[in-house]
Amino acid sequence: MDARLNADAAELAKFSELAHRWWDPDSEFRPLHQINPLRLGWIESLAGPLRGRAVLDVGCGGGILAEAMARQGGDVLGIDLADKPLKVAQLHALEQQVANVRYRAVSAEALADEQPGTFDVVTCMEMLEHVPDPASIVNACARLVKPGGWVMFSTLNRNPKAFLFAIVGAEYVLRLLPRGTHEYRKFIRPSELAGWARQAGLDVRALRGLTYNPLTQRYALASDTSVNYLMATQRGQG
Ligand code: SAH
């Protein structure tokens, strides 16, 4: 792998190993399947209907969000640097006959050099906490979106409660995720993400928490951003 690439080879290998189970709703990817309708609704509630709009999903993995956005009528490109999840995503879209989604193995930074200011909406979900330099991804997303367009992020907050819930709870007690899925020191406080966004020319428009109730086994959008959260940003018109 190119040493200049902003990617962690061990992280990419981890997602490639699990890729064949990506669309199994009872697999390691169950949480992504469960949160998908919530985040899709949240994206459209802010950015407006995706129908007919150019959408980029950065770190798309097996395509759970990318394909759903294409079903909403978006013209979607999904990018990732792990090969197997991309193949799974492509195959699934073919099987499901979702035509308006394409997938490419390219970094966000390289795509931003290649086609800046191209997309109406850029999403980057559950990905920033897996990369060496998340600020560089945020910057690339800002370059990829059109002036006035939306960039939506989601990641994990960094504080003792997030450690307890996202690592101890999710990986050890409830076993929602395989052990070692997340590394605490890579978690990102909303203030840090907001700072990178502003530096890149993105205005923060909304911040929303995503909570999990272990009794009902359901996720919900909430005001509590202490563990999982979503941040909506918009590029200035200038
Ligand atoms: N965004 C998807 C998948 C999240 S899993 C969803 O929310 O449904 C995290 C994904 O980030 C994996 O597919 C992994 O391969 C990808 N990833 C990790 N580092 C990356 C990098 N540097 N560039 C692009 N994708 C990366």
Q: 11-57: per-residue pLDDT in tens?
A: 999 999 999 999 999 999 999 999 999 999 999 999 999 999 999 99
pLDDT of 201 higher than 70? yes
9-235 CATH pick, 3.90.1150.10, 1.10.357.10, 3.40.50.150, 3.20.20.80: 3.40.50.150
How much is the pLDDT for 2?
62
Q: Whose CA is nearest to atom 4 of ligand 1?
A: 126
User: Could you read off the pLDDT of 49-101 as tens digits, one per residue?
Assistant: 999 999 999 999 999 999 999 999 999 999 999 999 999 999 999 999 999 99
pLDDT at 1 over 60: no
Band of pLDDT at residue 237, cut at 50, 70 and 90: confident
Is 224 marked as a binding-site residue?
A: no
The 202-213 sheet, strands edge to edge: 101-105, 75-80, 54-58, 119-125, 145-156, 228-235, 202-213, 218-222
Given a contact cutoff of 8 angstroms between Cβ atoms, the answer to whether 98 and 48 are in contact is no
Mutation probe of ligand 1 site: the residue of 42, 80, 123, 228 with most atoms within 8 A of C-beta: 80
Percent of the chain with pLDDT over 90: 97
In this structure, what token pair is assigned to residue 87? 């193949």
**DSSP element (H, E) containing 91:** helix 83-95
